[in-house]
C-alpha cells in the first residue's frame, strides 16, 4: 500500500471532534441582568456573591400573569450558530416552591426548556435544535441562532393559588459546541494535500 494511502487512512481514524465550551455568564456580578415583574407577581431581585447568583422571587396568585423574568438583553455572546446547546450549571429550584422555572432564549422567536423542581444543584440544557421527542423543549418558530437578543430565567407561579417566595440559585451558564481539535485540523489539511497531490 502506498504511503499516501496509509496517511489518508490515518487522517480518517484520527479525525475526531471535541466539545468546546464558552462561559456565557459566570455571575461574578449581575451587570446587564435585570428582574422584570409581571402582573400578579409581587417582587423580584437578583444578587451575586461573586460566584453564585440568587434570583429572589415572590409570586402572587394571578393565574396566567404571575411571572418574574430574570433576563439580560445584552448577551455577552450573541452569535450561537456554532454551538449545540446552552447549559445552566448548578441551578437549584426549591422543592414544593409552587412555581416552575424556564430557560428562555429569543433569537427571532422564543425557544424554551422547563426545569423540574428537586431542591438539589442540577445542570439543565437547552438544545439549539427543536426536538419533537422532548416535551419540555419548545420553539415558537424558526430560530436565528446567529443573532441571540435576550436570555431569560423565567419563574412562573401559575401552578399555585397562594403567595409563594423563595430563591433560585445558579452557578454558571455555558455554551457548548462540537468543533474539530487543532491536531485534527492539521491532519485533515495533510490528508487534503496528499489527495490533491495524487490527482
Considering the chain, what percentage of its residues have pLDDT values greater than 90?
A: 29
Say yes or no to pLDDT of 60 above 60: yes
Between 132 and 111, the more confident residue is 111
Residues 3 and 88 in one domain: no
Residues 5 and 42 in one domain: no
Confidence of residue 51 (pLDDT cuts 50, 70, 90): very high
Residues 164 and 193 in one domain: no
Q: What is the pTM of this model?
A: 0.74
Q: Residue 83: phi, psi to the nearest 5?
A: -110, 155
Residues 71 and 132 in one domain: yes
Q: Which domain holds residue 194?
A: 1-16+182-199
| CATH number of the structural domain spanning residue 71 | 2.60.120.260
* Measured distance CA(66)–CA(100) in Å, rounded: 11
Residues 29 and 82 in one domain: yes
Residues 88 and 172 in one domain: yes
Residues 103 and 119 in one domain: yes
Q: What does the mean pLDDT of the chain come to?
A: 77
Say yes or no to pLDDT of 65 above 90: no
Give CA torsion, residues 24, 30, 32, 37, to 10 deg.
110
Residues 175 and 186 in one domain: no
Residues 23 and 10 in one domain: no
Q: Give residue 34's pLDDT.
A: 94
Residues 99 and 195 in one domain: no
Confidence of residue 38 (pLDDT cuts 50, 70, 90): confident
DSSP string, 44-85: EEEEE-SS-EEEEEEE-S-TTT-EEEEEESS-S----TT-SE
Confidence of residue 58 (pLDDT cuts 50, 70, 90): confident
Residues 55 and 44 in one domain: yes
Residues 93 and 135 in one domain: yes
Q: Give residue 32's pLDDT.
A: 94
- Count structural domains, the chain: 2
Confidence of residue 83 (pLDDT cuts 50, 70, 90): very high
Amino acid at each position: 500500500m502506498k504511503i499516501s494511502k496509509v496517511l489518508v487512512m490515518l487522517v480518517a481514524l484520527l479525525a475526531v471532534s471535541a466539545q468546546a465550551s464558552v462561559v456565557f455568564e459566570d455571575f461574578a456580578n449581575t451587570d446587564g441582568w435585570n428582574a422584570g415583574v409581571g402582573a400578579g407577581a409581587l417582587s423580584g431581585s437578583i444578587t451575586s456573591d461573586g460566584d453564585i447568583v440568587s434570583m429572589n422571587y415572590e409570586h402572587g396568585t394571578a393565574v396566567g400573569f404571575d411571572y418574574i423574568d430574570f433576563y439580560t438583553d445584552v448577551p455577552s455572546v450573541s452569535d450561537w450558530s456554532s454551538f449545540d446547546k446552552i447549559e445552566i450549571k448548578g441551578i437549584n429550584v426549591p422543592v414544593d416552591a409552587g412555581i416552575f422555572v424556564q430557560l428562555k432564549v429569543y433569537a427571532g422567536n422564543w425557544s424554551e426548556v422547563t426545569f423540574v423542581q428537586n431542591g438539589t444543584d442540577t445542570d439543565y440544557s437547552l438544545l439549539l435544535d427543536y426536538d419533537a421527542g422532548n416535551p419540555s423543549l419548545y420553539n415558537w418558530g424558526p430560530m436565528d441562532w446567529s443573532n441571540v437578543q435576550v436570555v431569560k430565567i423565567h419563574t412562573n407561579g401559575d401552578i399555585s393559588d397562594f403567595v409563594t417566595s423563595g430563591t433560585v440559585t445558579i452557578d454558571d451558564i455555558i455554551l457548548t459546541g462540537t468543533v474539530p481539535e487543532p491536531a485534527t485540523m492539521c491532519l485533515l489539511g495533510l490528508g487534503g494535500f496528499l489527495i490533491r497531490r495524487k490527482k
